[in-house]
Structure 1
Amino acid sequence: MLIIGHREVRDILKGKEPEILQVVADAHRLYGEGLAGPSGSVCEGTTRAGAGIVLGSPADGSPEVFVEASIILAKRAGASAGLAAGLLRTEPEPRGLALVGLGPVNLEVLRFVKARFHSLIELTVFDPDEERAIVFAREARKIVPGAAVHYAETPEEAVAAHKLVSLSATATTPHPGPQAARPGTTVLDWAEPAARAGDFRAPSIGALLRDPGGVRPDPDRVTVCSPSGPAALDLALARWVADQAQRWRIGVRIDDFLPATLTAPAVPVTTSV
């Protein structure tokens, strides 16, 4: 059993946005619809609790790798949002992004949208927790150096500020919905999307990737998309992390984790006549 801890996962994923986008895109194409994974909400100003993923052997299903997965969940969410933004934008090169609910998911959304669009230079943010908003803005400026960061007084003000919006409800933030969005806005809604009459609810990211020309966002309507996707996406990214860890000999290996009957080499059996 290979154990890959939080620090190792963080180091493996750091600066690997293009690779993560590719892994997540391939997984979306392959797995399509499915059970949505955790959204990475925050509670009382803290990041979401740790999570673990166990990867089994393709041969017999026995556990091979245990991965600390809280960063994986957030990175996969951010990558999904970056893919959706690229597929559903109505502006060729978006310059602004609105973020409502300033937890770890929206920080990764910002990271991957920036990786997708180098044109991004302006952010409008909202969270009822002023301290969390300040901390988020500080981290945001590291991701988008020189960005203008505006603090909205209401979620509706933030939603109306740009034509690319990410709504991530937290434990202390009511979900505002896309009601204040302007025509031509793409809303990445981490709750169940609730499109208004006249809005367009986009299909899954997997469907969009399999048929890129099948959906064309309407500049006269609001497009609402849920980037959550199936939990299998987390497994795909965890497997990529595990492959990198094994390649670079990262992590802690426990050779006697499994019962001896599962790990002992086969003993030839001879019979006499």
Structure 2
Amino acid sequence: MPQKSDIIILKQQEIESLLNKQENKIMDVVQQAYELHSQGKSVLPHSSFLTFPDNLSNRIIALPAYLGEPFNVAGIKWIASFPANIERDIARASAVLILNSMETGHPLSIMESSIISAKRTAASAALAAKNLVNEDVIEAGFIGCGLINLEIFRFLSTIFQSLKTLTIFDKQPERATAFVSKVQDIAPSCHLKVATSAEQVLESTPLISLATTAATPYIYELPTVQLDSRTILLISLRDISPQIISTNINIVDDPDHVCRANTSIHLAQQQEGNTDFIKGTLVDVIQKRISLREKSNDTVIFSPFGLGVLDVALGKFIYDLALNNNLGTKIESFISD
């Protein structure tokens, strides 16, 4: 065990190895974090957005959080999103997570966190799909062909064993082509169709995940199709117009947090002057405190702001795994006595 002043550094490859084939456990951790937060056993300040006057598309976000027992940990994620990195063939997002001891306040670990962020986001989306979709899923749509939607597919395929057909779209065709290859590495029998527009995805399948870099809405109408129901995982938060939001069923992770930073939910709140269009939280759905669809063809939209409690919960899970597996680089006496 590390001494009180020691710190464990965990690199991306080490975290990937610890989380390999742990999708079900990660979903358990994320659900537990959500439920503890709903019980008031967390402290979750608003995220702080650092933006830059010369390039408004770039940002760095600080997400501090505390989560009570059994995690009993505090921490902060510092995550940068620089969309132009995609053109440089490097990752759009980079992140670091710092965990702090609740006994001393000293840092326990510094770990690469873009993978943690992707995994907890995907687990959140999969939990939502599991609880919002009425039946087994055989087909899904993905708008945005980056790491987040790839991870969401990985988690969805764990839940929905019959998921064998995907319809995908990305504004950059080469990213869609790369996505096809990566999905087939995960699930060789999966059949993929590359759409020519986001609208084609929306009209083709009852479960759609949006994970893009959109800063403002670009979807102003949902296709009228004969589906039993439609579930939209609005992971990137800003793709859909406030008019669509306010006229459909909305589930969120935290109503206070998601009504910020010009998310589609935030724009709808500004338009309507209230949040009556929010049906409830994902925990409300999981614990069956609310009923969802009044009509069989209703559309449900899940908008998760992305809560720091998920990062510290998964970070603590990883930290414990690293100690048990003697993984990571230990820096002794990081803080002098």
- The TM-score, its normalising length taken from structure 2, stands at 0.71
Per the alignment, in what secondary structure is the counterpart of residue 85 of structure 1? Answer: helix
Structure index of larger Rg: 1
Q: 1:160 aligns with which of 188, 197, 203?
A: 203
- Corresponding residue for residue 267 of structure 1: none
| 1-structure distance, mates of 2:15, 2:230 | 34
Task: Give the Å deviation of 1:145.
Answer: 2.3
Task: Give the Å deviation of 1:221.
Answer: 1.1
Q: 1:241 aligns with which of 318, 321, 336?
A: 318
| Letter of the structure 2 residue corresponding to residue 216 of structure 1 | L
| 1-structure distance, mates of 2:183, 2:217 | 22
Task: Give the Å deviation of 1:177.
Answer: 6.2
- Corresponding residue for residue 49 of structure 1: 93
Task: Give the Å deviation of 1:130.
Answer: 1.1
Per the alignment, in what secondary structure is the counterpart of residue 61 of structure 1? Answer: coil
CA contact (8 A) 1:181 1:222 kept: no
Gap change, CA 1:178 and 1:67, over 3 Å in 2? farther
Gap change, CA 1:221 and 1:114, over 3 Å in 2? same
Structure 1 unaligned blocks of 5 or more: 261-273
Structure 2 unaligned blocks of 5 or more: 1-6, 48-62, 64-78, 252-279
- Corresponding residue for residue 201 of structure 1: 250
The answer to whether 1:25 aligns with 2:69 is no
CA contact (8 A) 1:31 1:206 kept: no
Q: 1:149 aligns with which of 192, 195, 206?
A: 192
| Letter of the structure 2 residue corresponding to residue 17 of structure 1 | E
CA contact (8 A) 1:41 1:171 kept: no
| 2-structure distance, mates of 1:123, 1:82 | 15
Q: 2:111 aligns with which of 67, 79, 97?
A: 67
Task: Give the Å deviation of 1:47.
Answer: 2.1
Gap change, CA 1:5 and 1:134, over 3 Å in 2? same
| 2-structure distance, mates of 1:130, 1:5 | 31
Task: Give the Å deviation of 1:160.
Answer: 1.2
- Corresponding residue for residue 78 of structure 1: 122
Pairing of 1:250-269 with structure 2 (within 5 A)? 250-260=327-337
Percent of pairs with identical residues: 28
- The TM-score, its normalising length taken from structure 1, stands at 0.86
Per the alignment, in what secondary structure is the counterpart of residue 51 of structure 1? Answer: strand
| 1-structure distance, mates of 2:17, 2:316 | 15
Task: Give the Å deviation of 1:19.
Answer: 0.7
- Corresponding residue for residue 227 of structure 1: 304
Give the paired residue count. Answer: 258
Task: Give the Å deviation of 1:172.
Answer: 9.4
- Corresponding residue for residue 186 of structure 1: 231
Task: Give the Å deviation of 1:55.
Answer: 0.6
Structure 1 vs Structure 2 CA RMSD: 2.4
**Which of the pair is proportionally richer in strand?**
2
